[in-house]
Structure 1
Amino acid sequence: MSPTSNRLLRTLVLLACIAGPLSSHTARAAISVTDDSGARVTLEHAAQRVVSLAPHATELLYAAGGGTRIVGAVTYSDYPPQARQIPRVGDSGALDLERIAALKPDLLVVWWHGNAQRQLDKLRQLGIPMFYSEPRHVTDIPGEIERLGQLLGTSAEATRAADQFRSRYSALQRAYATRAPVRVFFQVWQNPLMTINGSQIVSDVIRLCGGRNVFADLKPLVPMVSTEAVLAADPQAMFTAMPGATPADRPLANLAMWRRWPQLSAVAHHNLFPIDGDLIDRPGPRVLQGAQIMCDDLDHARQRLAADR
């Protein structure tokens, strides 16, 4: 470890000592839940000072009734609107470790694959309890809200939010899952061209709406694909996530490149759909808003496809 790293670690430990022994357990833990890494997270009492290290985690904490307990959050933690007033502790990939320690948190909600592991290892040395958050399926989200509610001591509010989520999910499933299948390509990035496989949470949304991800069988979670592969798959609808791409304002932007291939079914039938990334990419409560938009878009796609038969 370099001298600079040693000095940083000593500073962090000193700040943690000033804050008090955050993880010493002299009695049986009052609260214990399992996080998304499979680890047990135990607290002696309900968390009062929480730092959120991912935007989706911030939304989950608010849904669980713990918004007023969040003392620090990363950049882009912008929903609900009051989350924009929370002090910042860096971004998901570059955390301000000294700032985090100075906030004296009694719980960190971290992003399993989005936060830098080296920085999380340093935070772990401070003994601050960590809850790893990474819902892999839409149906994982309500359970995560409930578990965070347990850690926060807000189980009643968390249960209500989780039940509402499950009810909305079931309604979408009843309405769309058995409709005529539509071949879907979801573009994550243009250059290099990237998509999602069947295990990624957006693919769950596609299935919920009765769509079929044309690259579901690829092994990487976010695989690179060639233009030729997309042309061969001939998707009937194409989606991409973009900031602010709401039903009222739907710029084609990156999807416009596909107009060079008018033989593509999605292009021929005008089934190119940008969608607000905050509603579809974040594995949090608002993903069902994104799902409703995608389901409506796929219904439009079905109508256009049927009209051409």
Structure 2
Amino acid sequence: MNSVPRRTLPLLAALAAALALVAGCGTAAGPAPGDAGAAPAADGAFPVTIPTAFGDVTVPEQPQRVVALGWSDAETALALGVEPVGAADWLAVGGDGLGPWVPQTYRTPPTILGTLEVDLEAVAALEPDLVLDTRASGDRDRYDRLAQLGVPVVGIPAGGENYLTDWRDQLRSVGAALGRGAEAARLQSELEQRFAGAREANPQLQGATVVSGARNTLGEYAAYADGSGRMEFLTELGMTLSPTVAALPAEGFSTPISRERMNLFDADVTVMQPIGKDATEIENDPLWKAVPSVADGRGVLLSDRDVSQAFSAASVQGWTFALERTVPRLADAAAKAP
């Protein structure tokens, strides 16, 4: 178990991390909560120890200056009532990094820091006493450099490499580190109940095959892998990744799909979203329109930028926002499946 002091030490190097493909995450029983991550603790109980892929990390006392670097770490902290002093804007929302799906607001906006590349001197200047990096690449060099700050760094959980930290593990880890374990457990239960209600109200989703994909600014398509945030949302609804796509090798949290193989997107339901552009180019792409499921009216194009980003956030706030705006369309598409 590694216990680290609170005072910030001088930095020795700058951080550089790489990512293969970045977006800019009822009657039928739903997925069982994962067992990984910190167990809920009494709020405010310190010290607390959080297991991570890099070993146990001990937070000795209530953090006062939190820097949230991982995908959706900042909005997760906000959901728990803690305002980070530094944050990373993974979805390129702009401003303070909060999309309209986040009901909470900052009293003092955080310093916006890098995503793939983090300026460690800028982080150190914020004098943090806790760094959150719970959904990230899992690169050991990134973690080791952040650890040079001399403060607790709560990195990814075991198995969370390539941004595959699931929402429960992220919520529990952040909640434990902030002394808000009981509140994290409450938020988890509430979102699980929302998913259960959606499953019960839409039994046609249970067992329906699905492919969730994206088109980037270069016109390249990819399908999200099982365990990625987007697929996790759909799995929570009772849907399953198309076996054809599941059998393909993934690069990080997605699988590139060439334009010559667009039929790989075919499933009971096909979800697609644009990355970095509006949805017009997808709507007008004859290859997209020719995918059998799309041609049959079972394509769900997330053309609303806010909905698309909330779906991608894989946070309590994002998915609460996305559920009511996507489930009716997903259910209608699933009902048409042969």
What's the TM-score, normalizing by structure 1? Answer: 0.73
Q: Is the 8 A contact 2:49 2:56 kept in 1?
A: yes
* Separation in structure 2 between the aligned mates of residue 74 and residue 152 of structure 1, nearest angstrom: 18
Residues 91 and 234 of structure 1, relative CA distance in 2, 3 Å threshold:
same
What SS is found at the alignment partner of 1:95?
coil
CA distance in 2 between counterparts of 1:116 and 1:157 reads 30
Q: Distance in 1 between matches of 2:70 and 2:58?
A: 21
- Kindly provide the CA deviation profile for residues 131-165 of structure 1, in whole angstroms up to 9, marking residues without a partner as x: 11479699942453243223222334333322212
Residues 213 and 41 (structure 1), Cα distance of their counterparts in 2 relative to 1, 3 Å cut: same
Output one character per residue of 1:90-143: Cα deviation in whole Å (capped at 9) or x when no partner: 221122211211211111001553487645432212222111147969994245
The answer as to 2:122 corresponding to 1:107 is no
Q: Does 1:88 align with 2:118?
A: no
1:249-300 Cα shifts (integer Å, max 9, x gaps): x955424314675472312426342153321112211224324433211222
2:259 paired with 1:227: yes
Larger RCO (CA under 8 A, 6+ residues apart): 2
Identity of aligned residues (%): 20
From 69, 74, 82, the equivalent of 1:58 is: 74
1:198 aligns with 2:218: no
Q: Given that residues 195 and 237 in structure 2 are in contact (C-alpha distance below 8 angstroms), is that contact kept between their aligned partners in structure 1?
A: no
Change over 3 Å in CA distance of 1:302–1:43 after alignment to 2: closer
- C-alpha spacing 1:235/1:154, structure 2 compared with 1 (3 Å): closer
C-alpha distance in 2 between matches for 1:177 and 1:284:
24
Residue in 2 aligned with 1:20?
none
Whether 2:56 is the aligned partner of 1:40: answer yes
Residues 111-126 of structure 1: matches in 2 within 5 Å?
Answer: 111-114=134-137, 118-126=141-149
- The one-letter amino acid of 1:160's match is R
Mapped contact 2:70–2:136 kept (Cα < 8 A): no
Specify the SS of the correspondent of 1:239.
Answer: strand
Distance 1:244 1:174, change over 3 A: farther
Between 1:211-220 and 1:95-104, the stretch displaced more is 211-220
Q: Distance in 2 between matches of 1:105 and 1:50?
A: 6
Residue equivalent to 2:28: none
Deviation at 1:11, TM superposition (A): 5.0
Q: Which moved more, 1:227-236 or 1:191-200?
A: 227-236
Aligned-partner SS, 1:170: helix
Specify the SS of the correspondent of 1:128.
coil
* Contact residue 71 and residue 136 of structure 2 kept, 8 A: no
For the Cα contact (< 8 Å) 1:193–1:226, is it kept in 2? yes
Q: What does the per-residue CA deviation read over 1:9-37, in whole Å, with 9 as the maximum and x for residues that have no partner?
A: x9536xxxxxxxxxxxxxxx7211223x2
The alignment status of 1:128 with 2:156, answered yes or no, reads: no
| Helix, strand or coil at the partner of 2:50 | strand
Structure 2 counterpart of 1:208, from 236, 255, 260:
236
1:150 and 2:181 matched: no
TM-score, length of structure 2 as denominator length? 0.67
1:74 is aligned to 2:88 = yes
Give 1:82 shift. Answer: 2.3
Distance 1:232 1:127, change over 3 A: closer
**CA 1:252 to 1:51, structure 2 compared with 1: closer, same or farther past 3 Å?**
same
1:297 is aligned with what amino acid? R
Residue 46 (structure 1) shift? 1.5
Work out the CA distance in 2 between the residues paired with 1:84 and 1:193: 39
Amino acid at match of 2:87: A
Runs of 5+ in structure 1 lacking a partner? 1-9, 14-28
Question: Is 2:329 the counterpart of 1:297?
Answer: yes
Question: What's the CA shift for 1:217?
Answer: 2.6
1:12 alignment partner in structure 2:
11
- Which region of structure 1 is more displaced relative to structure 2, 115-124 or 54-63? 115-124
Aligned to 1:254: 282
**Equivalent residues, number:** 275
Unpaired runs of 5+ residues, structure 2, are: 1-8, 13-45
Aligned to 1:16: none
- More helix per residue: 1 or 2? 1
2:270 aligned with 1:238: yes
Find the aligned partners of 1:217 and 1:177 in 2 and give their Cα distance.
Answer: 26
C-alpha spacing 1:141/1:232, structure 2 compared with 1 (3 Å): closer
Moved more, 79-88 or 137-146: 137-146
Q: Please say which structure displays the higher CA radius of gyration.
A: 1
